[in-house]
Amino acid sequence: MIIERARIKSNCEVAHNIWEMHYEAPNIADSYLGAGQFINILALDDWSHPLRRPMSIASAEDGCISIIYKIFGDVTKILASQKEGETVELMGPLGNTFSNWDNGTYPVLIGGGVGLAPILNLKKECAAKKVDHTMIIGAKSGNEHFIEHEPEENIYLTTDDGTIGDEGTVMEPLKRIIIENKNTYLFACGPEPMLHAVREFALKNNIPAQLSVESYMGCGFGLCQGCVIQRHNYEIRDDSYHQKYSLICLDGPVYEAGDISFG
Amino acid sequence: MKRGILVLADLKITIGSEVFQNPIWVASGTFGYGTEAPELVDVNRLGAIVTKSITRKPREGNPPPRIVETPSGMINSIGLANIGVKKYIQDMLPIYENLTTKIIVNIAGTDVQEYVEIMEMMESVSSVIAGYEINISCPNVKKGGMEFGVDCDMTAKLTEKLRILTERLLIMKLSPNVSDIVSIGLSAENAGADAVSAINTVVGMSIDAESGSSNIFTTYGGLSGPAIKPVGLAMVHKLYNKLSIPIIGMGGIVNTDDVVEYMMAGSTAVQVGTANYRDPGIGEDIIDSLDSFINQTNRKSATDLIGSVRTLS
């Protein structure tokens, strides 16, 4: 884990309300282990917003890392206002990575909303290792997509309103892909309802799946105990520690679908 | 991250029979067990580490969401998630043998018997710990310590029971969520406490206007960070005016000015809390700049600051 003052290399809106920021952060980029890991960003040096914001790493190469973020609150507005050449303090790389995507299975990469950041990253890693795969990205509307719907390239987009790609959620193309391919392994990141649906589908159909979950975090490295998710285990007791609840910052953010449960 | 190691001014402070190398401690629950971020902090430079509250049995803590940011602060409701006293003795005490900083063990319980049992277990083994901070004021646990922290008689009774069990430092951690913190502090002092620490978090609530939901599972949580600094300063100053034992001040400390203000209000030592989440090395930075402050203001030692505020009325 490193704290590094990083220079903003670029910061642009790539789709409606969706932004991509590149940082020059050679030390964090050097320590980066793979898709799924995140950085914890200090948006402002003052104490108006005391907590850092965790963001999944969307790429890490040549001493640079990138994030993809959606504007939905004060801090993401601050991020969007930051200009090339400014510096911000980053902590990272934190968390674990997607795994076993290169062990002979057929990875199906599923991203929803800004949860596509680690999914795009994993796609690059698959391409670099020449691992055949499919990617499905869901959004509410076409203006939130910044990549093309290219079924012939195994890239499927979905939108809730049908303006681009398949109308509906990522589950529709996922069901088709599962039928058409053998030995699939699902890798998903996105809003909780999407992860919940992917998890249910995977468990019901006995398909292995890894989910990258999002959470508010106080620190990102185990001090505050703030970012927990319940483990899927019915024998756990309350007079235990770290059996019922897992710390997303240290144990995650990537979990096997069967190991956790939502709400 | 490389940090300075040169300390010139006299930063030493004394509480009871213990001399601390400086007044900068880290607060319970904000620094884990002191071993979580070795690459970012040299813990041996700290005045003391107050370790995360331990209870008789391990605790899983509260369901999520447990934390939310608020203006210049945060609300937490962790629910005393901890490894329990047995594991603390087994796993943590041997690690502390190798540290030169002082370790203060924070203890929490739901009744007098639980506090007593924990302290008996701690005192039954040989260890290097310097003392205990007694959490009588956690707002986030049902049947939690709050009833002790809001009641003078209960505070006195608990302090007396624990005083008998240890010759180590006994520090009672006071809640700000009371009508009169001074009377609670006096109860602790009269019952034999070596010091009081103040303040624990302030009960707070956060609501998401869009969804209409509370942002914390337990509805209410503990507000910390710079937002509560004025509350902490006032309570420390009130305690300083009436108590004879040292006060360990905390609540929103993020830099050296905050430390100086807390000491001027009457703190002998201070605890850095929420700021550790952002940078666990912040205590070290503060030690270095406190050293500069003492030198530049021609003071002989950090203790010259204690209670030195000039009030205007």
How many CB contacts within 8 angstroms connect chain A with chain B? 114
Q: What pLDDT sits at residue B141?
A: 56
A201-239 pLDDT tens trace: 999 999 999 999 999 999 999 999 999 999 997 677 778
**Which chain B residues touch A217 with a CB distance below 8 Å?**
67
Note whether A40 and A29 are within 8 A (CB).
no
Mean pLDDT for the stretch of residues B189-208: 97
Q: Which residues of A touch B (CB under 8 A)?
A: 1-3, 42, 47-52, 215-219, 221-230, 236, 238-245
Query: What CATH number corresponds to the domain at position B124?
Result: 3.20.20.70
| pLDDT surpasses 60 at B164 | yes
Q: Which domain holds residue B231?
A: 13-61+83-203+224-305
In a domain, A88, yes or no: yes
Between chains, do A2 and B71 touch, taking CB under 8 Å as contact?
A: no
Say yes or no: A132 and A70 in one domain: no
Chain B residue with minimum CA distance to A217: B67
**B82: which strand partners?**
B59
B277 close to A (CB below 8 A): yes
What value does the mean pLDDT of chain B take?
93
In a domain, B228, yes or no: yes
**From A2, A222, A229, residue closest to B64, measured CB to CB:** A229
One-letter-per-residue 3-state SS of chain A: CEEEEEEEEEEEEEECCEEEEEEECHHHHHHCCCECEEEEEECCCCCCCCCCEEEECCEEECCEEEEEEECCCHHHHHHHHCCCCCEEEEEEEECCCCCCCCCCCEEEEEEEHHHHHHHHHHHHHHHHCCCCCEEEEEECCHHHCCCCCEHHHCEEEEECCCCCCEECCCHHHHHHHHHHCCCEEEEEECCHHHHHHHHHHHHHCCCCEEEECCCCCCCCCCCCCCCEEEECCCCCCCCCCCCCEEEHHHHCCEEEHHHECCC
Verify whether residue B152 is a known catalytic residue: no
Q: What pLDDT sits at residue B308?
A: 97
- If we measure between CA atoms, which residue out of B26, B92, B18, B20 comes closest to residue B259? B26
**From A2, A50, A239, residue closest to B73, measured CB to CB:** A50
Number of domains chain B contains = 1
Between chains, do A218 and B76 touch, taking CB under 8 Å as contact?
A: yes
Query: What CATH number corresponds to the domain at position A68?
Result: 2.40.30.10
In a domain, A70, yes or no: yes
State which of A59, A94, A129 marks the end of a domain: A94
Q: What percentage of chain B carries pLDDT values higher than 70? A: 94
B251 close to A (CB below 8 A): no
Say yes or no: A114 and A229 in one domain: yes
State which of A43, A64, A94 marks the end of a domain: A94
Q: What percentage of chain A carries pLDDT values higher than 70? A: 99
Q: Which domain holds residue A165?
A: 106-259
Say yes or no: A198 and A227 in one domain: yes
Chain B residue with minimum CA distance to A223: B32
Q: How confident is the model at residue B106 (pLDDT cuts 50, 70, 90)?
A: very high
In a domain, A191, yes or no: yes
Q: How far is B229 from chain A (nearest CA, A)?
A: 12
In a domain, A243, yes or no: yes
Q: What pLDDT sits at residue A170?
A: 96
Between chains, do A244 and B60 touch, taking CB under 8 Å as contact?
A: yes
B225 close to A (CB below 8 A): yes
Say yes or no: A15 and A131 in one domain: no
Between chains, do A228 and B64 touch, taking CB under 8 Å as contact?
A: yes
Say yes or no: A77 and A15 in one domain: yes
Q: Which of B24, B122, B138, B236 is catalytic?
A: B138
B71 close to A (CB below 8 A): yes
Q: What pLDDT sits at residue A139?
A: 94
A19-53 pLDDT tens trace: 999 999 999 999 999 999 999 999 999 999 999 99
State which of A94, A127, A154 marks the end of a domain: A94
Peptide bond into A236 cis (omega under 30): no
Say yes or no: A118 and A78 in one domain: no
Say yes or no: A183 and A88 in one domain: no
Q: What pLDDT sits at residue B1?
A: 44
B33 close to A (CB below 8 A): no
- CA-to-CA distance for A209 and B243, rounded, in angstroms? 60
Say yes or no: A36 and A86 in one domain: yes
Tokens of B265: 């209000």
Q: How far is A127 from chain B (nearest CA, A)?
A: 34
Mean pLDDT for the stretch of residues B134-147: 64
Between chains, do A221 and B37 touch, taking CB under 8 Å as contact?
A: yes
Between chains, do A228 and B66 touch, taking CB under 8 Å as contact?
A: yes
Number of domains chain A contains = 2
Between chains, do B59 and A230 touch, taking CB under 8 Å as contact?
A: no
CA B8 to chain centre: 26
| pLDDT surpasses 50 at B285 | yes
Cβ neighbours of residue B61 closer than 8 Å, sequence gap 6 or more? A225, A228, A245, B78, B79, B80, B81, B82
What value does the mean pLDDT of chain A take?
94
Mean pLDDT for the stretch of residues B276-295: 94
**Which chain A residues touch B37 with a CB distance below 8 Å?**
1, 221, 223
Q: How confident is the model at residue A8 (pLDDT cuts 50, 70, 90)?
A: very high
- CA-to-CA distance for A144 and A139, rounded, in angstroms? 6
Between chains, do A216 and B67 touch, taking CB under 8 Å as contact?
A: yes
In a domain, B73, yes or no: no
In a domain, A101, yes or no: no
B231-270 pLDDT tens trace: 999 999 999 999 999 999 999 999 999 999 999 999 999 9
B30 close to A (CB below 8 A): yes
Cβ neighbours of residue A15 closer than 8 Å, sequence gap 6 or more? A143, A144, A145, A146
Residue B217: count other Cβ atoms within 10 Å of its Cβ: 13
Q: What pLDDT sits at residue B127?
A: 87
Say yes or no: A132 and A75 in one domain: no
**From A48, A243, A244, residue closest to B72, measured CB to CB:** A48
Task: Give the type of residue at A148.
Answer: E
Say yes or no: A51 and A117 in one domain: no
Say yes or no: A183 and A55 in one domain: no
Between chains, do B67 and A50 touch, taking CB under 8 Å as contact?
A: no
Tokens of B4: 């300075």
Q: Which residue has the higher pLDDT, A156 or A1?
A: A156
Q: What pLDDT sits at residue A237?
A: 72
Note whether A253 and A36 are within 8 A (CB).
yes
Between chains, do B67 and A239 touch, taking CB under 8 Å as contact?
A: no
| pLDDT surpasses 70 at A124 | yes
Given the cut 0.85, state whether the ipTM is greater than it. Answer: yes
In a domain, A99, yes or no: no
Backbone angle region of B4, left / alpha / beta, with phi > 0 → left and psi within -120 to 50 → alpha: beta
Q: How confident is the model at residue B2 (pLDDT cuts 50, 70, 90)?
A: very low
Q: How far is B56 from chain A (nearest CA, A)?
A: 10
Query: What CATH number corresponds to the domain at position A238?
Result: 3.40.50.80
In a domain, A235, yes or no: yes
In a domain, A111, yes or no: yes
Say yes or no: A64 and A154 in one domain: no
